[in-house]
């Protein structure tokens, strides 16, 4: 392995999140607008280009690869890419291959994902109320997602549920969601809503539900024990002693987790964002396409991008204004 990727603050980059498409079969209100204009196909990295890009990052020390979107499983031929990444799991260079999904396509792909070496996935579910689910996702249908969840567990995949905490929307489902996950042997991570994308009429301040308050409410019902465990992502975990399950909290607003950031994100067009909460980006598509037989220019571009990684982000709701608001859609960056 070559010299690993170290950013200016001596953080080793070992976690890569790659968006394989900006398209999705849902239109979640905190992620994208209802009438999205998606990118033309020629702007997207091909599956072969995604393979080459990820392979170079793995050669430079990335050990965890998370595939995102949009909804990654709506990308045509996506299993070709997952199957290609299997070789890095087999060699031991890649420790984990995983994905975040809305669950809509898992009924079709769960078995194939397991066969490709995926062992753990995240499914986004913000409510167990069918009407509210249709409201928050606009186009999504809860029964389809629950069938996908069943298929994933039946295939042997360990499932973690991601839930965006939304004030006056799913506050009343806190214990319902927790028990649902406990009954199925699933961990649960709550995420603070972030000021990104086409906010339009969506009031992010009005939606914001502090996870400090959420945790306090959990402690009224359960014995909550802090855990030192980290999984390479930004979540901090507790264990609910009565159920034994892990509950994670991703809190970019009430607790800045930047000091231990070990990850970068690549969009489906080959832009690398070294911070979710900053607009700074670098282009990897140009060197990828200009030098198809030589990875040296691509490596140089990767290292130059990592050298620009900032110390932290600027998300801030404390002043009752949208400080650090990002103009791009969450679906573009890949979560």
Binding-site residue numbers for [4Fe-4S] cluster are 24, 28, 31, 258, 261, 275
The whole-angstrom separation of Cα 26 and Cα 36 is 11
CA distances to 33, 79, 142, 188, 249 from 134, rounded to whole Å, are: 15, 28, 7, 21, 25
- Annotated binding residues, written as ranges, equal 17, 24, 28, 30-31, 66, 70, 100, 124, 160, 194, 258, 261, 263-265, 275
- Annotated binding residues for S-adenosyl-L-methionine, written as ranges, equal 30, 70, 124, 194
CA distances to 23, 62, 160, 264 from 182, rounded to whole Å, are: 32, 32, 11, 31
Phi, psi at residue 138, to the nearest 5°? 65, -55
CA distances to 11, 132, 142, 195, 302 from 271, rounded to whole Å, are: 21, 34, 33, 20, 10
Whether the CB-CB separation of 245 and 239 falls below 8 Å is answered with yes
Reading the block at residue 109, the tokens are: 């792909």
The whole-angstrom separation of Cα 224 and Cα 235 is 16
The whole-angstrom separation of Cα 114 and Cα 82 is 10
- 299, 230, 281, 288: which is closest to 15 by C-alpha? 230
- 81, 64, 62, 63: which is closest to 20 by C-alpha? 81
- 331, 333, 234: which is closest to 25 by C-alpha? 331
The whole-angstrom separation of Cα 128 and Cα 297 is 48
- 263, 257, 275: which is closest to 328 by C-alpha? 275
Is the backbone of residue 83 left (phi > 0), alpha (psi -120 to 50) or beta? alpha
β-pair type (236-240, 224-226): antiparallel
Sign of the C-alpha dihedral, residues 88, 89, 92, 94?
Answer: positive
- Annotated binding residues for GTP, written as ranges, equal 17, 66, 100, 160, 263-265
């Amino acid at each position: 392995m070559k010299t690993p990727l170290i950013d200016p603050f001596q953080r080793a980059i070992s976690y890569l999140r790659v968006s394989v498409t900006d398209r999705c079969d849902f239109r979640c209100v905190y992620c994208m607008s209802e009438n999205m204009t998606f990118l033309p196909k020629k702007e997207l990295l091909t599956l072969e280009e995604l393979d080459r890009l990820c392979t170079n990052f793995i050669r430079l020390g990335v050990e965890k690869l998370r595939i995102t979107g949009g909804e990654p499983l709506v990308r045509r031929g996506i299993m070709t890419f997952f199957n290609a990444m299997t070789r890095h799991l087999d060699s031991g260079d890649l420790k984990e291959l995983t994905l975040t999904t809305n669950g809509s396509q898992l009924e079709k792909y769960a078995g194939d994902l397991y066969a490709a070496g995926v062992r753990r996935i995240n499914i986004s579910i913000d409510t167990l109320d069918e009407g509210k689910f249709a409201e928050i996702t606009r186009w999504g249908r809860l029964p389809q997602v629950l069938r996908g969840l069943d298929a994933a567990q039946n295939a042997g995949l360990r499932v973690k549920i991601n839930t965006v905490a939304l004030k006056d929307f799913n506050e009343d489902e806190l214990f319902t969601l927790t028990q649902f996950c406990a009954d199925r042997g699933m961990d649960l991570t709550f995420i603070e809503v972030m000021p990104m994308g086409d906010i339009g009429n969506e009031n992010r301040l009005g939606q914001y539900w502090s996870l400090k308050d959420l945790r306090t409410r959990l402690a009224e019902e359960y014995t909550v024990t802090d855990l030192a465990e980290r999984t390479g992502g930004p979540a901090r975990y507790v264990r609910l002693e009565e159920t034994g399950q892990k509950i994670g909290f991703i809190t970019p607003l009430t607790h800045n987790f930047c000091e231990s950031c070990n990850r970068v994100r690549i969009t489906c067009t080959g832009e690398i964002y070294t911070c979710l909460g900053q607009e700074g980006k670098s282009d990897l598509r140009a060197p990828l396409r200009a030098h198809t037989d030589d990875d040296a220019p691509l490596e140089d571009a990767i290292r130059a991008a990592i050298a620009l990684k900032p110390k932290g982000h600027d998300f801030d709701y404390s002043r009752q204004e949208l400080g650090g608001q990002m103009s791009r859609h969450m679906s573009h960056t890949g979560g």
